[in-house]
């Protein structure tokens, strides 16, 4: 697993194939894929999208519907070309970084984006209400934009076929309570640790007095920033937490086995979309402590973002009442939004 978006795309792709759809994924990746329905994008600055088809040399668009999960503004010139070629386009927006990403576009991307926003042959999926509001403020027609959270349950037949990596398995066997935190990469925004890895390490330092065998797994499939990684690793050593904190820096095909064995899943982010890992943890009965930077699903224990004291107090309360919280999570309804996405495809095709 490289991230929540890639998890969503993979599961959606699998569901479409199971439903008999001729689905293809065009993905930025290194090497080759053994799956003929997954087509790597090499030597192409920005692929049109991760999902369905792309207008690239040697990759003609055969699909009637193109579903884009990349930032749509960066690939707007290609999206406009697809519409001119008679294709229908669906765009899922996974994060609320519209303002920040809009500022990174060049003149052609900006002009294409303004044109694309006004296309009636486009259907938009926002993973949260706040993202939908951003899109409407940007010019998307309200009737063309629906809210569908990105979480899709894993295939029931495949559950149990994804064991914990041996390194994590050895770690969790001797740590209790076990906390986990995940981020696609080390990402600093205005010198703030977006995924809150720094806060999670400070949390373990605070909790260790009461819980000497506490463990924290930091799942980080893409380091991206080796200097900051060294800073975090040095902090762990300086705090005497080398036996309590495990950095796992390899991708996992599925990460839910880690959420399942965790006593708490942490999401101390300073920005977010609708985190797949949060909904997946809740579905597994794992308590979640997350920042209030965005609206969170029912059952999440919230704290004020970037407030270390509030983070500590909220996690401490959850640890003290974990059984009661877990019982409450079993009462939450399970939701599968695949049918909602399928309805968007039907709408854009009509």
Tell me what pLDDT residue 38 has: 74
Tell me what pLDDT residue 86 has: 86
Give per-residue pLDDT as tens, 113-152.
999 999 988 999 999 999 999 999 999 999 999 999 999 9
Main-chain phi, psi angles of 242, to 5 degrees: -60, -30
What are the start-end ranges of the E strands in 94-234? Answer: 122-126, 145-147, 178-182, 188-189, 192-193, 215-219
Tell me what pLDDT residue 59 has: 47
Q: Are residues 57 and 128 in the same domain?
A: yes
Tell me what pLDDT residue 350 has: 85
Tell me what pLDDT residue 46 has: 38
- In DSSP terms, which residues pair with 301 in a beta bridge? 289
Tell me what pLDDT residue 85 has: 83
Q: Are residues 65 and 140 in the same domain?
A: yes
Q: Are residues 121 and 14 in the same domain?
A: yes
Position 290 pLDDT exceeds 50: yes
Mean pLDDT of 271-287: 94
Q: Are residues 101 and 182 in the same domain?
A: no
Assigned token pair, 54 = 């792309």
- Pick from 1-10, 164-173, 224-233: least confident: 1-10
Tell me what pLDDT residue 293 has: 94
CATH number where 51 lies: 3.40.50.2000
Give per-residue pLDDT as tens, 142-191.
999 999 999 999 887 666 678 999 999 999 999 999 999 999 899 999 99
Assigned token pair, 205 = 């330092």
Position 3 pLDDT exceeds 90: no
For all residues of the chain together, what is the average pLDDT?
89
CA distance 54 to 85: 12
Domains identified in the chain, total number: 2
Position 68 pLDDT exceeds 50: yes
Other CB atoms closer than 10 Å to residue 342's CB: what's the count? Answer: 15
- Pick from 51-55, 101-105, 134-138, 332-336: least confident: 51-55
What does each C-alpha distance from 171 to 81, 220, 262 come to in angstroms? 51, 16, 12
Q: Are residues 139 and 229 in the same domain?
A: no
Q: Are residues 197 and 276 in the same domain?
A: yes
CA distance 18 to 91: 22
**What's the domain range around 46?**
4-152+338-349
Tell me what pLDDT residue 26 has: 78
Q: Are residues 168 and 316 in the same domain?
A: yes
Position 64 pLDDT exceeds 50: yes
* Residues near 143 by beta carbon (within 8 Å), at least 6 away in sequence: none
Q: Are residues 125 and 180 in the same domain?
A: no
Query: How remote is the C-alpha of 182 from its chain's centroid?
Result: 10
Mean pLDDT of 48-54: 37
Give per-residue pLDDT as tens, 304-339.
999 999 999 999 999 999 999 999 999 998 889 999
Other CB atoms closer than 10 Å to residue 191's CB: what's the count? Answer: 5
What does each C-alpha distance from 53 to 25, 44, 48 come to in angstroms? 7, 14, 8
Query: Is 24 or 104 the better-scoring residue by pLDDT?
Result: 104
CA distance 118 to 71: 17
Q: Are residues 139 and 174 in the same domain?
A: no
The number of residues in the chain equals 350
Assigned token pair, 79 = 């999206």
Q: Are residues 99 and 24 in the same domain?
A: yes
- Report helix angle 4-18 to 338-349, nearest 10: 70
Nearest partner of 200 among 176, 225, 183, 222, judged by Cα: 183
Q: Are residues 91 and 54 in the same domain?
A: yes
Tell me what pLDDT residue 49 has: 38
Q: Are residues 96 and 194 in the same domain?
A: no
* Residues near 287 by beta carbon (within 8 Å), at least 6 away in sequence: 263, 264, 265, 281, 301, 318, 322, 325, 326, 329
DSSP 301: E
Tell me what pLDDT residue 39 has: 63
């Amino acid at each position: 697993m490289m991230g929540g978006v890639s998890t969503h795309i993979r599961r959606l792709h699998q569901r479409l194939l199971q439903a008999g759809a001729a689905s293809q994924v065009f993905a930025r990746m290194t090497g080759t894929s053994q799956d003929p329905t997954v087509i790597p994008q090499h030597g192409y600055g920005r692929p049109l999208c991760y999902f369905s088809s792309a207008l690239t040399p040697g990759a003609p668009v055969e699909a009637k519907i193109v579903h884009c999960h990349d930032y749509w503004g960066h690939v707007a010139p290609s999206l406009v070309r697809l519409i001119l070629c008679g294709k229908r386009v669906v765009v899922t927006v996974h994060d609320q970084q519209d303002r920040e990403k809009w500022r990174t576009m060049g003149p052609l991307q900006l002009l294409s984006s303004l044109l694309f926003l006004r296309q009636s042959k486009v259907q938009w999926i926002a993973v949260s209400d706040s993202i939908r509001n951003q899109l409407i403020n940007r010019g998307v027609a309200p009737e063309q934009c629906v809210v569908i959270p990105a979480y899709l349950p894993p295939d029931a037949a495949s559950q149990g076929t994804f064991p914990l990596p041996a390194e994590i398995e050895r770690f969790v066997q001797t740590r209790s309570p076990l906390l986990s935190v995940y981020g696609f990469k080390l990402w600093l925004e205005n010198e703030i640790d977006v995924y809150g890895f720094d806060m999670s390490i400070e949390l373990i330092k605070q909790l260790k007095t009461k819980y000497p065998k506490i463990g924290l797994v930091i799942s980080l499939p893409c380091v991206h920033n080796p200097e900051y990684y060294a800073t975090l690793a040095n902090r762990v050593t300086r705090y005497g937490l080398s036996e309590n904190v495990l950095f796992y820096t390899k991708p996992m095909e599925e990460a839910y086995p880690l959420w399942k064995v965790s006593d708490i899943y942490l999401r101390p982010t300073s920005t977010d979309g609708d985190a797949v890992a949060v909904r997946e943890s809740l579905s597994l009965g794992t308590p979640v402590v997350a920042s209030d930077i965005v609206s969170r699903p029912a059952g999440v224990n919230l704290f004020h973002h970037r407030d270390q004291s509030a983070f500590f107090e909220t996690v401490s309360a959850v640890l003290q009442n974990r059984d009661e919280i877990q019982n409450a999570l079993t009462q939450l309804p399970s939701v599968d939004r695949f049918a909602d996405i399928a309805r968007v495809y039907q709408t854009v095709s009509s």
